[in-house]
Amino acid sequence: MKTRAGLKRRPLLRYLPLVAALAVGGALLLSEQVDATPINLAPDRTLVWKDYLGVNAHFLWFTPQQYRKQIAAYKQLGLQWVRVDLHWDRLEPTEEGYQLSTLDELDRTLSGSKLKSLFYLVGSAPFVTTAPKGGPFQDQYPPRDPKVFATRMAMLAQRYPNIDAWQVWNEQNIPNNWRPKPDAKGYGELLLATHQALNQVAPDKIQVMGGMAYYSQMPTQRNALMFEKLGELGVQSLGMVAAYHPYSETPETDEPGKNEVLLRGKQLNDMLHGAGLKRVWATEWGWSSYAGPKEMQRLIGVDGQADYTLRRLALMSDQDYERIFLFALSD
């Protein structure tokens, strides 16, 4: 097993446990065998909410005055983890023409607030994107050279040593974030290059795989999970946190009469742990309280959002996530 990104050749048997587990687990996740049998929610662990529950926060899309108010309100909840998005094309609109002053200020504010942070870098800068010249969605294509992305992420980790964890890309299993179509091998090369670069400059920081949309299904490949495809490349040997985004129509299901959120989450987490991935985070989940017109979800309002959030927290507290991040603090 060797990729162009340089995964060392190892005996095939090293990968069989992960491949076999993911193949079986993938079949379960993609099947319809998820009925609504009553389930007793009885977590066998004690959750410390400030360590377990975090929130996505789009701080860089607001003014410093606005996000300082958001941080103050967030801290009143007694929570301490935030997940923040970084877009490469905004940080480096021209090659080595870095625009980091706003990020510098945010970093100082977060450090002073004593919040813990997970930052993820996503999207290609204009000078390195593989997008067709002059076409739309330039940043949603992967970079021509994964090592260029890796060097930028390493630079950020060095510049901002107070950031606690770094995540590599976001929802790379769907075309919106990896055009023209998801490519496990291509993302695996980006992941490996970034893992190696971060190990050189920030070996003590937590490294997180890009959060997979839903359960890592790849819409352009029937009955395929990207976790399964990455398993064939041996990513379990990197020691990174696995992450995905278990969104659904309601807290319990996308289809009435099924417990798919609880059952599929358990299947995937068991599968990942059985394959040797010790840590699993849900880095996005939640529902909007927007007033319409109706788009991706039913209109539930603020009270419905609160109800849905509490119901999902009850489910997720019974599952083996190390940390979860609600989406989002403010939009």
The one-digit pLDDT tens for each residue of the chain (331 residues) are: 333 333 332 222 223 234 434 443 454 455 555 555 666 666 677 889 999 999 999 999 999 999 999 999 999 999 999 999 999 999 999 999 999 999 999 999 999 999 999 999 999 999 999 999 999 999 999 999 999 999 999 999 999 999 999 999 999 999 999 999 999 999 999 999 999 999 999 999 999 999 999 999 999 888 899 999 999 999 999 999 999 999 999 999 998 888 889 999 999 999 999 999 999 999 999 999 999 999 889 999 999 999 999 999 999 998 999 999 999 998 7
Q: Does any domain span residue 25? A: no
Which H or E run contains 108?
helix 101-113
Which H or E run contains 82?
strand 81-87
Residue 276: per-residue pLDDT: 92
CB neighbour class for 44 (10 Å; exposed up to 12, middle 13-18, buried from 19): exposed
**CB-based contact 243:283 (threshold 8 Å):** yes
Tokens 């299947």 label which residue? 267
Which H or E run contains 245?
strand 242-245
Q: Does any domain span residue 310? A: yes
Q: Does any domain span residue 109? A: yes
Instruction: Name 297's Cβ contacts closer than 8 Å, sequence gap at least 6.
Output: 249, 287, 288
Distance, CA of 253 to CA of 234 (rounded, Å): 32
Residue 258: per-residue pLDDT: 82
Q: What is the residue-averaged pLDDT of the chain? A: 89
Q: Which domain holds residue 280?
A: 47-326
Instruction: Name 50's Cβ contacts closer than 8 Å, sequence gap at least 6.
Output: 78, 79, 80, 81
Q: Does any domain span residue 179? A: yes
CB neighbour class for 216 (10 Å; exposed up to 12, middle 13-18, buried from 19): buried
Q: Does any domain span residue 259? A: yes
Residue 259: per-residue pLDDT: 84
Q: Which residues of 122-159 are buried (b: 16+ CB within 10 A; e: fewer)?
A: bbbbeebbebeeeeeebbbbbbeebebbbebbbbbbee
Per residue in 264-321, pLDDT (tens digit) is 999 999 999 999 999 999 999 999 999 999 988 999 999 999 999 999 999 999 899 9
The number of domains in the chain is 1
Residue 111: per-residue pLDDT: 96
**CB-based contact 64:106 (threshold 8 Å):** yes
CATH number of the CATH domain containing 60: 3.20.20.80
**Token reading at 36:** 């609504």
Q: Does any domain span residue 3? A: no
Residue 14: per-residue pLDDT: 29
Q: Does any domain span residue 21? A: no
Per residue in 205-243, pLDDT (tens digit) is 999 999 999 999 999 888 899 999 999 999 999 999 999
Q: Does any domain span residue 22? A: no
